[in-house]
Amino acid sequence: MSKKTLVSAITAALVVGAASTTFAAANPFSDVPADSWAYDAVTTLAADGVIDGYPDGTYKGQNTMTRYEMAQIVARAMAKTDLEKADKALVDKLAAEFAEELDNLGVRVADLEKKSDNVKFGGELRYRYYDIDRDSRLGGDETHNKVLFRLEPKAYIGNSGWTANARIDYEMDLSSDEDENDVEVDRAYVEGPLFGTTVTAGRTPVFTAQGLVFDDRISGATVAFGSEDFTATLAAGRYNNGHKDTDGLGTALGVAKDITGEYYGLQLDYAPSEQLALNAGYTALKNIENIDADANIWYIGGSYAFDKNVKLVAEYAQNTEDYNWDQDQAWTAELQYKGANPADAGSWGMYAGYRQIDLLSVIAPTYDDIISAGYKGAVVGASYVPAENILATIEYFDGEGTVSGQDASKFFANVDFFF
pLDDT tens for 369-405 read: 999 999 999 999 999 999 999 999 999 999 999 998 9
- 19-23, 79-83, 115-119: least confidently modelled range: 19-23
Count other C-beta atoms under 10 Å from residue 139's C-beta.
16
**For residues 263-290, average pLDDT:** 95
Nearest residue to 374 via CA among 207, 128, 205, 135: 135
For residue 219, tell me if it sits in a domain. Answer: no
Instruction: Using the predicted structure, report yes or no on whether residue 81 has a pLDDT greater than 70.
Output: no
CATH of the domain at 283: 2.40.160
In this prediction, residue 64 carries a pLDDT of: 64
Rg (CA), the chain: 25
- Separation between Cα atoms, residue 238 and residue 259, nearest integer Å: 10
Containing structural domain, residue 98? 6-114
DSSP string, 258-276: --EEEEEEEEEEE-SSSSE
pLDDT in tens, 19-66: 333 333 455 555 556 665 555 655 666 666 666 666 665 555 556 667
pLDDT at 103 over 90: no
348 pLDDT band, cuts 50/70/90, is very high
| 362 vs 319: CA distance, rounded Å | 7
pLDDT at 297 over 70: yes
Q: What is the structure's pLDDT at 18?
A: 37
Tell me: do 131 and 95 sit in the same domain. no
Predicted confidence band at 352 (pLDDT cuts at 50, 70, 90)? very high
pLDDT at 93: 75
Statement to judge: residues 130 and 44 lie in one domain: no
For residue 122, give the amino acid letter: G
Q: What is the pLDDT of residue 19?
A: 36
Domain tally, the chain: 2
Q: Please state which of the ranges 63-67, 124-128, 148-152, 287-291 shows the lowest mean pLDDT.
A: 63-67
Q: Are residues 271 and 389 in the same domain?
A: yes
Do 270 and 381 lie in one domain? The reply is yes
Q: Is residue 413 part of a domain?
A: yes
C-alpha distances out from residue 230 to 251, 264, 271, 312, Å: 36, 20, 7, 20
**Is 143 found in the same domain as 80?**
no
Strand, coil or helix: 350: strand
- Threshold 0.75, pTM exceeds: no
- Is pLDDT of 107 > 70? no
Number of Cβ within a 10 Å radius of residue 412: 22
The answer to whether position 101 is within a domain reads yes
DSSP string covering 190-247: EEEEETTEEEEEEEEEEEEGGGTSEEEEEEEEEEEEE-SSEEEEEEEEEEE-TT-S--
pLDDT of amino acid 411: 98
Q: Do residues 360 and 249 touch, judged by C-beta distance below 8 A? A: yes
Q: Which of 26-30, 221-225, 324-328 has the highest mean pLDDT?
A: 221-225
CA distance 379 to 396: 6
Give yes or no: residues 86 and 142 share one domain.
Answer: no
Residues 282, 369 within the same domain: yes
Say yes or no: 341 and 398 in one domain.
Answer: yes
Could you tell me which residues come within 8 angstroms of residue 71 by beta carbon, excluding any fewer than 6 positions away? 98, 101, 102, 105, 107
| pLDDT value of residue 8 | 44
Pair (130, 89) in one structural domain: no
Residue 47 in any domain: the answer is yes
